[in-house]
């Protein structure tokens, strides 16, 4: 079975802090994704990566950056956390094409105070 | 606006009844996928239907796709309390690499 793990289930940070969210997948998938999920807004794509060191902006990249130095790991970085970045963050991966089936991690609920 | 939109937003039924959720989209697609999310957890893939397919089954799940109406439906037969979750459709647009998720339908199955 594909396993996607996220570094934390719950995280509390202060405004202005630099925040790292880590995601690791163990199935040699080409593509990895970061979403945020907010009530009434569904899942919104922040960034995705289709190869090591490659990244593309999703629908809401502002305030975020990403890093993919190794195939199995995709990091989401909040350079200076703000309260409006309080959300559930979901990581996913897919094999082959970006539009193929995605396998999700359990999510990180981030609260920025 | 979202490419895929689920309807209804919320659905409450008794155990044993069937549940039907719909997804409408705006532009042509390569495939459409349905996912389930239990409260506070990640999404789990249920089924993928390609644009040249009209119907797929998986256990108690039946998915239909009508590309002329740009809509899909997910039917869960003989529902169980464990089916209580949010259900999302994701559409892979023909002219875009990625899939886009809708806002989801929240299904409650009462025992």
Q: What is the mean pLDDT of residues A44-70?
A: 94
Interface probe with A: pick from B36, B38, B42, B87, most Cβ of A within 10 Å: B42
pLDDT digits (tens, 9 = 90+) for A90-105: 999 998 776 788 999 9
**CA A43 → CA A7, A90, A107, distances in Å?**
20, 9, 12
Whole-angstrom distance between the N-terminal and C-terminal Cα of chain B? 36
Q: Which residue has the tokens 């495939």?
A: B31
In this prediction, residue B1 carries a pLDDT of 44
Q: Is A101 on the interface with B (CB under 8 A)?
A: yes
Comparing CB atoms, the residue among A42, A45, A102 nearest residue B45 is A102
Whole-angstrom distance between the N-terminal and C-terminal Cα of chain A? 37
In this prediction, residue B97 carries a pLDDT of 66
Looking at the complex, report in whole angstroms how far the Cα of residue A91 sits from the nearest Cα belonging to chain B.
Answer: 8
Q: Is A104 on the interface with B (CB under 8 A)?
A: yes
Local confidence band at B3 (pLDDT 50, 70, 90 cut-offs): low
- Asked if A45 and B102 come within 8 Å (Cβ–Cβ), the reply is no
Q: Report residue A103 as tokens.
A: 């396998």
CA distance A24 to B77: 35
The H or E element containing residue A55 is strand A54-57
Flag whether pLDDT at B71 surpasses 80: yes
CA distance B7 to B74: 11
Comparing CB atoms, the residue among B40, B88, B92 nearest residue A99 is B92
Q: What is the mean pLDDT of residues B71-95?
A: 93
Alpha helices in chain B (DSSP H): none
């Amino acid at each position: 079975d594909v396993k996607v793990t996220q570094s934390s289930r719950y995280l509390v940070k202060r405004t202005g802090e630099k925040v790292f969210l880590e995601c690791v997948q163990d199935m040699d998938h080409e593509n990895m994704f970061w979403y945020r999920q907010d009530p009434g807004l569904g899942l919104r794509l922040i960034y995705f990566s289709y190869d090591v060191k490659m990244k593309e902006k999703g629908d809401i990249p502002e305030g975020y950056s990403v890093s993919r130095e190794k195939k199995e790991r995709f990091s989401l970085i909040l350079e200076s956390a703000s309260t409006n970045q309080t959300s559930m963050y979901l990581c996913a991966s897919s094999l082959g094409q970006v539009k193929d089936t995605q396998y999700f991690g359990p999510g990180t609920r981030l609260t920025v105070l | 606006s979202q490419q895929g939109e689920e309807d209804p937003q919320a659905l409450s039924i008794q155990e044993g009844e069937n549940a039907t959720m719909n997804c409408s989209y705006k532009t042509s697609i390569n495939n459409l996928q349905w996912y389930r999310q239990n409260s506070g957890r990640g999404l789990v893939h249920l089924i993928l239907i390609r644009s040249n397919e009209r119907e797929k089954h998986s256990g108690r799940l039946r998915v239909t796709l009508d590309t002329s109406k740009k809509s899909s439906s997910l039917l869960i037969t003989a529902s169980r309390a464990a089916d209580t979750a949010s259900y999302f459709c994701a559409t892979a647009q023909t002219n875009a690499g990625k899939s886009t998720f809708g806002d989801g339908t929240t299904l409650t199955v009462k025992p």
